[in-house]
Amino acid sequence: MHNRATTLRQIAAEYDSAPVASKETVQAYEDLSRWVEVWFNGIRQHLDVVGVDNPEPYTTAQEQANAVAKGRVEVSQQHLSHEVMSDGENWRYRVFHDVIGHANVEGVTAGFTKSGEILAWKIQRQYMLDNGATNAAIAVGFTETLGNFASKLVAGEYPKQIAAVLGSFNASRIVNDI
């Protein structure tokens, strides 16, 4: 098993040096966006989802989970610029990640810490598997969730969002190794 810090540093280095998106990578993001649209619409059937200008509308994941439990969640509309996804697609992915990963319907709250983001990814990945997502969509979901977070953790600020399938991603192994 890898040391989490080493693994996250490796993921960050790979994210930060990823090449321009290939045609296959763009297609994987299109696939992810289609799935997220379906899941987002499902979330909206149960929650009032509000876009806000605050880059971090909640200081803790528990605060976010409490908002979800009350039926209304705020999700930041800041820093949505992405190499492939539109601002709307990226925001819907953020809603999906926040609601399913951090404050999910199973009652598990995954914090905004390193271990919390890893847990949020594990929950999100399982949801994706259970709800028909393709391996390509899951792979770019990994980039969007842990690649972006790992880069922020190492650099101290969120990086420019890229479109990539990171070579460190392994759908069958990654849940236990990070």
Q: What is the pLDDT of residues 47-96, one digit of tens each?
A: 999 999 999 999 988 899 899 999 999 999 999 999 999 999 999 999 99
Question: In this structure, are residues 25 and 140 in contact, taking their beta carbons and an 8 Å threshold?
Answer: yes
DSSP 67-116: HHHTTEEEEE-SS--BSSS-HHHHHHHHHHIIIIIIB-TTS-B--SSHHH
pTM for this prediction: 0.85
**Which domain covers residue 108, as residue numbers?**
4-177
Q: What is the pLDDT of residues 104-124, one digit of tens each?
A: 756 666 778 888 888 888 888
Q: Is 44 a residue whose pLDDT tops 90? A: yes
